Amino acid sequence: MRHGVRIGIDPGDARIGVAKSDPTGFLATPVETVPRGRGDLARLAAIVAQEAAEAAPTGVVEVVVGLPRSLKGGENPATVKVREFARRLARRLAPVPVRLVDERLTTVSAEAMLRDQGRKGAKRRAVVDQAAAVLILQHALDSERASGDAPGEIVEAESD
């Protein structure tokens, strides 16, 4: 298992959930929900820079972005939008690598978990994106620990 913090991202149409791991790559925790739109990539870059500074000397190993696939594993319009977002993010964060990992049903799982905890309505909506980011990142961490390989697929930065 590589040593260093990882950042998990759940990009939605309205909000982007952000999570981080501890430097050992064992546990994912929520960080923030970033509003989608103008300035979102700048805010994500600022979060990554802050986490990298706090995790010195190892810094941030990578950013893991949830890729919404169909239940059968295929591509869909949401998958295309996230791939484009991930390319722009990779360009902004370079040289920190960005990886895409399968995130089927993580938002549904996060909603169920928060509902089970008794969170309702607006309180649940305020943190569901962070909870989904935690689930995406935790799955990536567990996958790497089990296989010894970095999770998902690397994203090539979108060129100008």
Q: Is 79 exposed, middle or buried (0-12, 13-18, 19+ CB in 10 A)?
A: middle
Whether the pLDDT of residue 115 is over 80: the answer is no
The count of structural domains within the chain is 1
Please give the pLDDT value at position 113: 67
Q: Is residue 63 part of a domain?
A: yes
Q: Is residue 85 part of a domain?
A: yes
Q: Is residue 104 part of a domain?
A: yes
Mean pLDDT of all residues in 46-64? 93
Helices marked H in the chain: 40-54, 77-93, 106-116, 121-147
Q: Is residue 157 part of a domain?
A: no
Mean pLDDT of all residues in 94-115? 76
Q: Is residue 30 part of a domain?
A: yes
CATH number, domain containing residue 128: 3.30.420.140
Q: Is residue 72 part of a domain?
A: yes
Q: Which residues form the domain of 11?
A: 5-152
Q: Is residue 134 part of a domain?
A: yes
DSSP single-letter state for residue 105: T
- Residue 9 · residue 41 · CB < 8 Å: no
Q: Is residue 36 part of a domain?
A: yes
Average the pLDDT over each of 32-46, 113-127, 135-149 and give the range with the smallest value. Answer: 113-127
Which percentage of the chain shows pLDDT scores above 90?
Answer: 63
Highest mean pLDDT among 63-77, 86-100, 118-132: 86-100
- Residue 11 · residue 79 · CB < 8 Å: no
